[in-house]
Structure 1
Amino acid sequence: MPDVTTRFHTVSLQDGDLELSWAAVTDVGKRRDNNQDAVLAQFPLFIIADGMGGHIGGEIASSRTVARMEAVASGAKVTPREIEKAIKLAVKDIASHPGSTDDGTGTTLTGVYLDLGGLVPHWVTLNIGDSRVYLLRDGRLAQVTTDHSVVQELIAAGRLSPEEAESHPYGNVITRAVGPSDHVKPDYVRLDVVEGDRFVVCSDGLTKELTDYGIQHFLGEHADPGEAVAAMLEAALENGGRDNISIIVLNVGSAPGEDAEPDDESDDDESDADSAA
């Protein structure tokens, strides 16, 4: 099991400080030879990319996309325009490895960022593919993002039930990814900033092994993000670990856990944060 550390950041707002805490992990799982997932957990951007397309191609796609997003997170502000510019650069990066990538090489890109550009701060989720963002609010877990997948389209058309989708032969086929197209854009969802909210960003390696109920169970059992991430990863591995597994848990306004290590970030210096690729 990899080490998991909870990080902290304080955001100064007009009506007071907002305390954030988060933890992230990525693991190869039990059946894959390499890890094609990449993770970035760097205030104010928290994302996961799940690569596809050959033994090396998927790693290139996810790592280059996360590297481009890291530059966005380190910049003046995160906006849809900056995200989409970074995606275009990532597509070029992927295409620049013709010996290792092809037309089927790509990656999901899913996550959430804090938008401080307006009068009132908002969370914004972004999604390309079938990695997911969940939100636990007032004791209820909801999937915020919508999968870009064949089975999701069948569910939306009423031709497939969610239960049938779990074992559908096209369960791994996604309909939107970073890489195959120059013009791909994420879906965005804006959310209010609410004290006590908890976000989970994850690749499908987690949701193949844990139901939504299971995710909510481990959030309820573990208030500290690092402990929640570690517990989910352990359960996913015990349930089979059929794919690479990547998880971010982000607490909004929660108190630090006893075993966590304070982050050295400040609002003026946001570059010293936890990231993995």
Structure 2
Amino acid sequence: MPYTAVTALSHPGLIREHNEDSLVAGPWTLCGTVTENPQTLVFPLGTPLVVAVADGLGGQPAGEVASSLVVRQLAALGPSLDGEEAVRAALALCNRAVYSAADGDPDLFTMGTTVAGVVVLASSALVFNVGDSKVFEASPAGFRQVSVDDSPLPPPGRRTTSAVTQTLGGSSVFSTVTPHVTTRALSAGDRYLVCTDGLTDPCPDEEIAGVLGEYDGARAAFELWKGAIEAGGPDNVTFATVRVSA
């Protein structure tokens, strides 16, 4: 039977006191916590399977509340995400839910989160994001980013920037979002990496590509995590590898 294997890991890194990242894989969510070891889940191919990360906005309150709210919404909506419009509608709903939860609560005021993920269908994948969390495709043709960053160009001499131009929530007044959603053909052996910037900021793309070119599953997850930690672990690091098998 064709299946999708998802290996996930979430860690606060070495600098942050709290983990404000969250993750969803099908009905399973991981919110603001720590996985001591990579966790692997296997799902039959067919019913829409959503795998996504959400990165609560640093410097603003309750990032872990916003990110967990979004992944739990996506977990509930996951089986209905059968096309691009369904994904866009789900992300609009998540955006409204973050604003609604913050309304009138000073402890949650302006909380927000990014989100990025992939919905695996029987013969295609829906890639989506709002913010600067990322989705990469690792295939025989190579390794490349397939999400679209909502961030300005980094300053001269720097590889990354922490600024974002679009998030779910995150403002004092309601603002709509325009999610990036694309459909990609899906074949046995295709692999995706869904991750927060706690992985991509300290680890260059070529380093991540090298790990995924050499390893798979839990070993790949461990090596990715180790790379982020050895680079200083400056932020929460959360990611999932997604592999489609015949």
TM-score (norm 1): 0.73
Residue 63 of structure 1 corresponds to 68
- Give runs of aligned pairs for residues 5-16 of structure 1, distance below 5 A: none
Q: Does 1:80 align with 2:64?
A: no
Residue 9 (structure 2) pairs with residue 25 (structure 1): yes
Does the 8 A contact of 2:10 with 2:237 survive in 1?
yes
1:250 is displaced (CA, Å) by: 0.7
State the SS of the aligned residue for 1:72: helix
Alignment correspondent of 2:125:
123
Post-superposition shift, 1:23?
0.5
1:57-206 alignment, distance < 5 Å = 57-73=62-78, 75-78=79-82, 79-96=86-103, 98-103=105-110, 105-116=111-122, 121-151=123-153, 164-166=157-159, 171-179=161-169, 180=171, 181-206=174-199
2:25 corresponds to which residue?
41
Give the letter for the 2:99 counterpart: K
Inter-partner Cα distance in structure 1 for 2:151 and 2:22: 20
> Are the counterparts in 2 of residues 50 and 62 from structure 1 also a CA contact under 8 Å?
yes
Work out the percentage of aligned pairs sharing the same amino acid: 29
Letter in 1 for 2:11: D
Structure 1 residue 197 displacement after superposition: 1.3
1:230 aligns with 2:222: yes
Give the aligned CA root-mean-square deviation in angstroms. Answer: 2.1
Kindly indicate whether residue 234 of structure 2 is the aligned counterpart of residue 250 of structure 1: no
What's the CA shift for 1:92?
Answer: 3.4
How far off its partner does 1:99 sit? 2.1
- In the alignment, the residues of structure 2 paired with residue 57 and residue 147 of structure 1 have an alpha-carbon distance, to the nearest angstrom, of 23
Query: Is the CA contact 1:22–1:248 (under 8 Å) kept in the aligned structure 2?
Result: yes
Contact conserved, 1:54 with 1:101, CA < 8 A, in 2?
A: no
Q: Distance in 2 between matches of 1:208 and 1:77?
A: 30
Counterpart CA distance in 2 for 1:39 and 1:128 is 15
Which structure has the larger Rg? 1
Distance 2:238 2:151 in 1: 19
Q: Which amino acid aligns with 1:197?
A: D
Distance 1:133 1:97 in 2: 34
| Alpha-carbon contact 2:115-2:133 (below 8 Å) kept | yes
Say how many residue pairs are matched.
Answer: 219
Which consecutive segments of 4 or more residues in structure 1 shift more than 6 A?
A: none
Secondary structure of residue in 2 paired with 1:151: coil
Question: Which segments of 5 or more consecutive residues in structure 2 lack a partner in the other structure?
Answer: 27-42, 44-48
Shift of 1:204: 0.4
Deviation of 1:55 after TM superposition, in Å, equals 6.6
Distance in 1, Cα, partners of 2:202 & 2:91: 31
Change in Cα spacing, 1:139 to 1:65, as seen in structure 2 (3 Å) is same
Superposed displacement of residue 115, structure 1: 3.5
CA distance in 1: counterparts of 2:203 and 2:102, whole angstroms: 34
Cα 1:88–1:207 change in 2 (3 A) is closer
